[in-house]
Amino acid sequence: MPEIAVVSDTHVPTRADAIPEWVRDRIAAADHVVHAGDFDAAEAHDEVAELADDLTAVSGNMDPVTLDLPAVATLEAGGATFVVVHGTGAVRNYRERVAGIVADEAESAGAGPPVVGIAGHTHQLLDEAVEANGRTVRLLNPGSATGADPATEATMLTVDVSDGDVAVTVRRE
């Protein structure tokens, strides 16, 4: 069963000095890494890319345009479709807005269930089923891997997926 490390909102160096060692270890050990945006600097992106065997990353509202990351990325793994987007915008209606983007992207890609949306931006953990555009989307937000404000702690997710069965674990130290 492949393990996917899911991180977001590292915000190095503007809100955090470094990615915690325990997060770096999880990234290095994972089969695939997803970063849902707001690296904050090219150096933070390069560090994650160097640690990861395989990286899917999207642009956040605090990322320099020189990173040239997509706004949305899709990943097929273990019989599930993962749609990654930062989730930029107001916190109000965040779940519905992000789930709508994920559902639309999955529809245009012809993806069947399960569809898992991965987003960041709020720095708040989330694992919830959301109805959007006639689809049920499992929406994940790993919080902030560095505990960057407004998060109150550093968190990330690991996802084990096989035959479309998606198991999510919250990681914190």
pLDDT in tens, 7-58: 999 999 999 999 999 999 999 999 999 999 999 999 999 999 999 989 999 9
Q: Give, for 23, the enclosing helix (H) or strand (E).
A: helix 21-29
3-7 β-sheet, strand order: 55-57, 32-35, 3-7, 155-162, 165-172
Task: Place 95 in a pLDDT band, splitting at 50, 70 and 90.
Answer: very high
Rounded to an integer, the average pLDDT of 100-107 is 90
Q: In the chain, how many domains are there?
A: 1
Q: Is 88 exposed, middle or buried (0-12, 13-18, 19+ CB in 10 A)?
A: middle
CATH number of the domain residue 55 falls in:
3.60.21.10
- Checking if the pLDDT of 99 tops 80, the result is yes
* pLDDT for residue 90: 87
d(CA 82, CA 59): 16
> By mean pLDDT, which of 31-45, 98-112, 142-156, 157-171 is the weakest?
98-112
pTM over 0.85: yes
Measure CA of the first residue to CA of the last residue in the chain; give whole Å.
Answer: 24
> Using one digit for the tens of pLDDT, what is the confidence trace for 110-141?
777 789 999 999 999 999 999 888 889 999 99
Render the burial of 30-66: b for 16+ CB within 10 Å, e for the rest.
bbbbbbbbbbbbeebbebbeebbeebbbbbbebbeee
Distances (CA, A) of 3 to 40, 60, 67: 25, 23, 26
Q: Is the confidence at residue 1, as pLDDT, over 80?
A: no
pLDDT of residue 169: 96
Task: Provide the pLDDT for residue 135.
Answer: 85
Q: Are 109 and 130 in contact (CB under 8 A)?
A: no
**pLDDT at position 40:** 94
Look up tokens 């929406």; give the residue.
139
The domain of 153 spans 3-172
